[in-house]
Amino acid sequence: MPVAALYDIHGNLPALTAVLADPRLAECERVVIGGDVGPGPMTAGTVELLQELGDRAVWIHGNCERELVTAYDRRGEVNGGLWERRSAVAAAELSLAQRDFLAALPGTATVEIDGLGEVLFCHGSPRSDEEIVTAATSPDRLAPMLADVSAAVVVCGHTHVQFDRVEHGVRIVNAGSVGMPYEGAAGAYWARLGPGVELLRTGYDSEVAIAAIRASGYPDAESAIEDLFTAPPTREQATAEFERQAAAMRA
């Protein structure tokens, strides 16, 4: 049976609810939660709904799980910009049990999938939840990231743009973002694996989502609404920006 990959949900509970109700996901034996469940406008509710999947779910952490745990432990101290404030607000929603659950998540998971073999799930790259991989990442930069990978397929996220490419004998798939996609069009983006790879989009009611985001108390909710629904970044814009960031990190 196929396996679903849900990445970068970022507390967008309406988007997650739509994906979990999608008949294509209902056919999936397992659901991989690929990191960055928050921060977002409804982070605690997002974690709660995902936990209802029980043993069907396979969890890994992203960079934002670590940031949420740190924000929770600081108990309201906010030093920094918008995303630090968003993390603080999202962390304040979490229960101690949710905080501890997120803190204990592994960085990667391996699942055997019919038709694909061994599939490694990570958030950024196999060696770092913050490392940037895009459709434009050079083979030379990918080589050290894949050096210790034995899996036939690597599924990642972090950059919120779906792609499917092969480098150094490894198929690299970005599942996209359920809750904050950079695809130039609204929707919840995810992947289904087995026996092939399907990069999917689930639509949902934008007006209901906008009302929920505005009512959530999320910092600068209007800019979040713009990025999600009014003027979402395109694949090309996002890829160019992430590659710029990757170059700056190497400088």
pLDDT digits over 88-105, tens only?
Answer: 999 999 999 999 999 999
Owner of token pair 């490392």? 131
Q: 235 phi and psi, to 5 degrees?
A: -55, -45
Position 76 scores a pLDDT of 64
What is the span of the domain harbouring residue 16? 3-250
Nearest to 105 by CA among 56, 42, 57: 57
Owner of token pair 């739509």? 18
Q: How many residues does the chain have?
A: 251
Total of domains in the chain: 1
Task: Say how far apart CA 5 and CA 23 lie, in whole Å.
Answer: 15
- For residue 209 the two structure tokens come to 């989502």
What contacts 68, CB < 8 A, 6 or more positions away?
38, 39, 43, 87, 90, 91, 94, 99, 102
Position 250 scores a pLDDT of 84
The order of strands in the sheet holding 163-167 is 109-113, 117-121, 153-156, 170-174, 163-167
> 41: domain CATH number?
3.60.21.10
Q: Is the peptide bond before 39 cis (omega within 30 degrees of 0)?
A: yes
β partners of residue 171? 153, 166
Fill in the DSSP letter of residue 110: E
Position 96 scores a pLDDT of 97
Q: How many helices (H) and strands (E) would you count in the chain?
A: 10, 10
Task: Say how far apart CA 223 and CA 101 lie, in whole Å.
Answer: 30
- For residue 26 the two structure tokens come to 């209902």
Q: Is the pLDDT of residue 79 over 80?
A: no
Q: How far is CA 55 from CA 2, 30, 31, 50, in A?
A: 16, 8, 9, 11
Fill in the DSSP letter of residue 24: H
pLDDT digits over 151-198, tens only?
Answer: 999 999 999 999 999 999 999 999 999 999 999 999 999 999 999 999
Position 186 scores a pLDDT of 97
Q: Is the pLDDT of residue 77 over 70?
A: no
Position 230 scores a pLDDT of 95
Position 80 scores a pLDDT of 73
Strand ranges (E), 39-147: 57-59, 109-113, 117-121
What is the average per-residue pLDDT within 111-135?
98
